[in-house]
Amino acid sequence: MMEYILSVEASQDIENILDYFLQRNIDAGEKFVKDFNNKCLNIVKFPKIGRSYSHIDSPLRGIPIDGYIIFYQLLENSIVIIRVVSGYRDIESLFLDLDQ
């Protein structure tokens, strides 16, 4: 069965998001964690559910969650969550390293 894996960057993103919620609204933070886990499980079930970001990197896909975007790549037996970032960020600049 396919599973999802968090990259180091995605783990740091989640930690930063949760720190933000911890300072402002713990209930919203708990909801975000629950929604995030559900989204990741849906990605595992339907790997191509997310929008293609092939203009940035050919295997990159993304799916929205509460003003953020979960960026992921489909591998042979797993989904790798690459980043979880605000939808307002300059997305292309986040992924410049993928081309190098």
Q: pLDDT digits over 13-51, tens only?
A: 999 999 998 899 999 989 999 999 999 999 999 999 999
Decide which of 82 and 1 is more confident.
82
Indicate whether 96 belongs to any domain.
no
Q: Structure pTM? A: 0.89
Report the candidate in 64, 72, 52, 55 with the shortest Cα–Cα distance to residue 88. Answer: 64
Q: What are 45-100's pLDDT values in tens digits?
A: 999 999 999 888 878 999 999 999 999 999 988 999 999 998 887 777 777 755 44
Whether 62 is in a domain gets the answer yes
Domain assignment of residue 48, given as a range: 3-88
* Residue 44 burial (CB count, 10 A): 17
Does residue 5 surpass a pLDDT of 80? yes
* 5 vs 58 pLDDT, higher one: 5
CATH number of the domain that residue 57 is part of: 3.30.2310.20
Domain count, the chain: 1
Q: What is the DSSP letter of 69?
A: E
Say how many CA atoms lie within 13 Å of 39 toward its Cβ.
19
pLDDT of residue 73: 95
Secondary structure of the chain: what % helix, strand, coil (to 5)?
Answer: 45, 30, 25
Residue 42 lies in a domain: yes
End-to-end CA distance of the chain: 32
Q: Is 13 exposed, middle or buried (0-12, 13-18, 19+ CB in 10 A)?
A: buried
Looking at the domain assignment, is residue 97 inside a domain? no
